[in-house]
Amino acid sequence: MMLWFSLQPHVTEARNQFELSPTSTSSAPPYRESLLSLHKSLVDFNSTSGSEAEVGQFLIHYLIEHGFVAENQTLPTSDPNTPRFNVVAWPESRNSTSSKVVVTSHIDTVPPYIPYSRTGPDPPTAETVIAGRGTVDAKGSVATQVIAVLELLASGAITSDDVMLAYVVGEESAGDGMMYFSNITAQQPVPPKAAVFGEPTEGLLACGHKGALICVITANGVSGHSGYPWLFKSATEVLMRGLIKTIDTDLGTSERYGNTTVNVGLLSGGIAANVVPDSATATVVGRVGIGPETGGSDIVKDRMLDVLTSVDDEAFDFECSDRTYGAIECNCDVDGFETTVVNYGTDIPSFKGNHTRYLYGPGSILVAHGANEALTLGDLEAAVEDYKRLILHAVET
């Protein structure tokens, strides 16, 4: 059963009734076995960020066997002992050097690796539950995108010049795979007019997602004996007061994306329980609820710094990463899709250009990254049909 995760469902539209999804019929779609096999093969590889080479090689061989020209796009900073590369592919009969639409997702996952498993009747039905690391985020998107494109090509609904596939590394860490792909694509004489990004959206078309801000906050104090804490300055106490006030402050809110939230992911400080600590550090991630895409995160960063300074105008050092951005807008004006807005980050801002951006995928973000990551076969089959409609829309618009 799907979990509803959107804090603010945006404009909601009823699905068109001109076609039934595979989950609403008693018969299996003709691609069921191919979809199951591809999805399982992808999930069977442990492709934690930084270790994507094996799944990438598999995907290249798979795509070549199914009529694509496929190659690895090696990242220039790769360790020669641990190569890292994106997988890019296009139909082998393509006449031009560019494609109208890029269909893309990522092949890396977060740790720890969780083996593939399947629960349900044999033979499998739409209700069959498929679990394991990456089943949702984002190998569910990769598998259903590939099958959808193969189906569209086989039916003649799209031509070999319409689409290309790009499956990148590093989305869960530094985003370096998409940034490199973006740099290469920018050199093409004719840029793509649209990109379809695959991430878990509950089978809804996302109108956008929150921005991101990653910062390290360090509090400085004066060490001393814990029996006389008032004579010294506890860095951990100052840091805690600053963090709580930051969390409780409205750092930026919009109607579409909601409020900016702050998660304290890492926290450390002190050397012993009976010593007043002179240093404490927190690493926080802000989910930015305001725009613009370029600059929205800077507004939030300045507000965070003002909050910390109001707690103590001397104690804090505050440093944020360069990979920051404000709220991201996507196109969601597509007939037949219900829509939503999501709170997580994606590779969308790393793919530069004037192309139209679509965000869609099977499965729930609430189980992604967790021990219970799973989705149903029906989710996957519905995604194939939805990707077919979405890719057709992107090609024809």
CA atoms within 13 A on the CB side of 368: 23
Q: Which helix (H) or strand (E) holds 259?
A: strand 258-259
Q: Is 172 a catalytic residue?
A: no
Q: Cβ distance 60 to 83 under 8 Å?
A: no
Distance CA 77, CA 250 (A): 39
How far is 194 from 333, CA to CA, in rounded Å?
Answer: 14
Helix, strand, coil share (%) of the chain residues, nearest 5: 30, 25, 45
Provide the angle, in degrees to the nearest 10, between the axes of the packed helices 53-65 and 139-155: 10
Tokens standing for residue 64: 């070549």
Q: Which amino acid is at 221?
A: G
- Answer yes or no: are the C-beta atoms of 98 and 189 closer than 8 Å: yes
| Number of Cα atoms under 13 Å in the Cβ half of residue 302 | 6
Token representation of residue 164: 């290309």
Q: Which residues of 8-46 are buried (b: 16+ CB within 10 A; e: fewer)?
A: bebeeeeeeeeeebbbeeeebbebbebbbebbbbbbbbb
Cα torsion 193, 206, 197, 163: sign: negative
Element (H, E) at 280: strand 279-288
Q: Which among 52, 151, 171, 172 is annotated as catalytic?
A: 171
All residues at 6 or more sequence positions from 137 whose CB lies less than 8 Å from its CB, including other chains: 109, 110, 199, 200, 363, 365, 368, 369, 373
Q: Can you tell me the distance from the alpha carbon of 379 to that of 363, in angstroms, rounded to the nearest whole number? A: 7
E strands present in 132-251:
163-168, 194-198, 205-209, 211-220, 224-225
**Residues belonging to the active site:** 171
